[in-house]
Amino acid sequence: MTEEPIGAGRTAVVTGASSGIGAATARRLAKDGFDVVCAARRTDRIEALANEIGGRAITLDVTSSDSVAALAAAVQRCSLLVNSAGGAVGLEPIADTDPADWQTMYDTNVLGILRVTQALLPALIASGDGHVIVIGSTAGHIVYEGGAGYTAAKHAVAAVVETLRLELCGQPVRVTEVAPGMVHTEEFSLVRFRGNAEKASRVYEGVEEPLTADDVADAVAWCATRPRHVNVDLLVVKPLAQAAQYKVHRTS
């Protein structure tokens, strides 16, 4: 007798699914038997991904309340929400940074999580076995020069996760933060450095094995597939080469 996939019968919504950790997570959850809703701004990418994994594509801008409301209206059942949409902009010191960059990061990383979680919470509770997983960052637990805008946003994300867990105590919804360290994806550093590929590549220079998006997706799937009475509060995942945000072993 073939054993049923562990995610069978459960619907997962993954934001930021057009690339990187979000796309890898959607693929992994589909492999584990979840019905996956791929949600992101780039419709062509999420439609291709949904076709690949047998999921659904819903265009989503987490900074738009109307877009989030449309997502909630289209998703009648949801037992797992993976908030993966986010990102960093700039690496300037506080003295020189543009407040607009901070606003962009806060709106995407923090308010985006608020909007989507708030909209899908009734469905998550109604499922009887809900789970909110937020892709945070080690930047939400430590600071570094030039990173104040991003670390401030990710510290806020960590606070949102911890507060949500307190507020949902007694409800059938688990709340988890997965906090990756150095992850080499195709877009994160490129976006941070405003398309400067040379600067983006230097972030990973000499690091033989940074994390991949698949590594983080594996961590998300592990948290999502624990027994329903088991809540993983915080899972920090770093490559072996990274002892801390400021201490990374480089071969060159």
Domains, the chain, with CATH or none: 11-248 (3.40.50.720)
Bridge partners of 40, per DSSP, are 59
Which of 72-101 are b and which e, b meaning 16 or more Cβ less than 10 Å from the residue's Cβ?
beebeebbbbbbbbbbbbbbeeeeebeeeb
pTM above 0.75, yes or no: yes
For the chain, percent of residues with pLDDT exceeding 90: 83
- 13 and 85 Cβ atoms separated by less than 8 Å: no
Separation of alpha carbons 55 and 57, rounded Å: 7
pLDDT of the residue at 96: 95
* pLDDT, tens digit, 9 for 90 and up, residues 144-183: 999 999 999 999 999 999 999 999 999 999 999 999 999 9
Would you please indicate which residues are annotated as catalytic (active-site) residues? 150
- First CA to last CA distance, the chain: 52
Given a cut of 80, whether residue 1 has pLDDT beyond it is no
pLDDT of the residue at 189: 67
Question: Minimal CA–CA distance to 179: which of 248, 233, 108, 124?
Answer: 233
The answer for 9, left when phi > 0, alpha when psi is -120 to 50, beta otherwise, is left
Separation of alpha carbons 159 and 147, rounded Å: 18
Average pLDDT over residues 184-201: 72
pLDDT of the residue at 58: 98
* pLDDT, tens digit, 9 for 90 and up, residues 9-44: 899 999 999 999 999 999 999 999 999 999 999 999
Q: For strand 242-244 and strand 247-248, is the pairing parallel, antiparallel, or unpaired?
A: antiparallel
* pLDDT, tens digit, 9 for 90 and up, residues 52-97: 999 999 999 999 999 999 999 999 899 999 999 999 888 899 999 9
Given a cut of 90, whether residue 221 has pLDDT beyond it is yes
- 164 and 117 Cβ atoms separated by less than 8 Å: yes
